Amino acid sequence: MTDIEDSVPTDNGGTAAPDLFEGMTAISAVLDPDIRAFNDRRVLTVYVDKDRTEKKARELAFLKHKAQEQSFSIVPVPRADLDALTSGTTHGGIAAACSDRTLPLLADSLGAIRPDGFYVLLDGIEDPYNFGYTIRSLYAAGADGVILPPRNWMGCAGLVARSSAGTSEKMPLYVCEPAGAAAAFKARGYRVVCAGIRDSVDLWEADLSRPLLLVIGGEKRGISRAVMDAADLTVRIGYSEKGGFRGSLSSAASAAVLAFEVLRQNG
């Protein structure tokens, strides 16, 4: 089989297209057996640039081994077809159609929440790349899981996986309305800490000991008032006075600063 359009359903045909993951980093994350406890996504078909199979011998050997374990097909295709299927030319000659991932409701998953954990509630991030970069920072800092509002960017899972370097697939994710998530964690003995300015304390003076639910908002909408009102503490990131910066960091940059301070204090 060499015709991508015959093997992958598209939106133009009225059928929902499988999530497309581009590049080995994102695809390898889906193939990782360690994520099976919380991630049911599966690789369905891998597409490989047929003119680069020799250069991709190592990757293909890995994929063939995984294909036998997880029962997916590997299809050589022309580079032009691969470029047309993907969102750009940064796929490195490999892409994969994957199944959907079930995002469990937080209310049904409270038994999986660690009693001494570090979780993050993302509220109001409006850009899928920023969303992916944010999860990447949180994963690197050791967050135990991320809570998302019902409307989130995981509908663009392939794009998010690429921008997060695959960590969006390796991170436990739960869905809940923000105010409900804050209440659920407080009921389990967690402190809720929001990133903000009003009535805030400097990050470097704040107690960020576990168990902790950190709430990070988007640059435009920020954190909802209901969640801010439920917070035990609001922390701010102090900026240099040089140049009189009055803006805000991206969500990903804020997440990196905040999450690594949590890591430092609980290290």
Q: In what order do the strands lie in the sheet with 94-98?
A: 19-22, 94-98, 43-49, 73-77
Q: For residue 185, how many C-alpha atoms fall within 13 Å in the half-sphere facing its CB?
A: 33
How much is the pLDDT for 127?
86
Check whether 13 has a pLDDT greater than 60.
Answer: no
Which residue, 50, 52, 41, 95, is CA-closest to 77?
50
Q: Which residue has better confidence, 138 or 13?
A: 138
Distances (CA, A) of 206 to 11, 139, 179, 265: 48, 22, 22, 10
Give me the mean pLDDT over the 142-146 stretch: 98
As a whole number of angstroms, the distance between CA 68 and CA 77 comes to: 20
User: Judging by DSSP bridges, how do beta strands 43-49 and 94-98 pair with one another?
Assistant: antiparallel
Q: What is the mean pLDDT of the chain?
A: 88
Give me the mean pLDDT over the 2-8 stretch: 38
pTM of the model: 0.89
Check whether 88 has a pLDDT greater than 50.
Answer: yes
Distances (CA, A) of 232 to 83, 93, 185, 201: 49, 49, 12, 12
Q: CB within 8 A of 7, min separation 6: which ones?
A: 1, 45, 75, 97
Place of tokens 């949180």: 138
